[in-house]
Amino acid sequence: MAISTRPFFRNYRVLSSAPTWNAWMHGRLGENIALRFANGEIVESELVLACDGIHSAVRRALFPQSREHFARYTCWRAIAPGFPQGMDPTRLTESWGAGKRIGLAAIPGERVYWFACCGANHRDDPKLAQADLAEVQAMFSGFHEPVPEVLDRTPADSLIWTDILDLDPMPSFTHGRAVLLGDPAHAVTPDLGQGAGLAIEDAAVLAALFGRLPTDRAIREYDKRRLSRAHRVAAESRLYAKVAQWQNPLVVPLRNLLVKSIPERFMDRQLEAVLDIDFEPVRNAA
């Protein structure tokens, strides 16, 4: 497949380490956009592609009603050297407990990437934020092998902690010639592993549409094509998180029994529904 590489705009800039925005000025569809930064710099462009993360300054300026949502759980991540005996390197595993879960995945270099999640009542809990590796090991001490071995192998200074957030559904991913891609448009919880994938889809679809449609029409078509899929994946990921984080001692055994009884072919169909994306505009731009 060949994708057109013709320039869509004469001038472009990548603002990867831009200062905090203190003002945002924009015109109607078809007019240039002026961005004023905290350091006084003004950048004018006929198109703005905002890829500035879940806390997007562009989104907050254009959609002040947008709201980040705390998923009511927190997560630690790290990479452990070595590979436990008996662990299948071709499979990512996720083990569920009551309000806790932990996932393991083999990565190149005979290492294991792991994540450990537990419920949280509010964001930025200082006790959770300051937890060290020993405390995390104590929290997840009841999990099966090779979880204890992997945690034992983990360097204490490699632990990364974050609260888990997503974004409430946006009414649009565009405003005039400002376009949101990735997390600024549709940040999702990591439960289905689709956050980066959705961002790549956004870029592929938008580039293909720019290759065959006038700019303003391409932007409108991008919004039409991406809204429903992104909203669906975000909703399914949020639901998965809620079920996985259940901690009621009466409900958890029933959940575990139900999950074990689901046929593998049904799970495969559910996964295919998440992964299946119509890339028709990419093929048409080839």
pLDDT in tens, 1-56: 222 333 344 444 544 444 444 444 444 444 688 888 778 888 888 899 999 999 99
Give which of 117, 166, 171 is closest to 139, Cα–Cα: 117
For the chain, where are the alpha helices, taking DSSP H only? Answer: 57-62, 126-129, 133-139, 147-153, 183-186, 195-212, 215-244, 252-261, 264-275, 280-285
- Which residues of the chain fall below pLDDT 70? 1-31, 277-286
In this prediction, residue 275 carries a pLDDT of: 73
Residue 20 belongs to what H/E stretch? Answer: none
In this prediction, residue 279 carries a pLDDT of: 59
In this prediction, residue 36 carries a pLDDT of: 80
What CA–CA distance (Å, rounded) separates 79 from 99?
Answer: 23
Beta-carbon contacts of residue 101 (< 8 Å; ≥ 6 apart): 94, 95, 116, 117, 244, 245
Furthest C-alpha separation in the chain: 62
In this prediction, residue 148 carries a pLDDT of: 96
In this prediction, residue 188 carries a pLDDT of: 97
* Structure-block tokens of residue 99: 């309000």
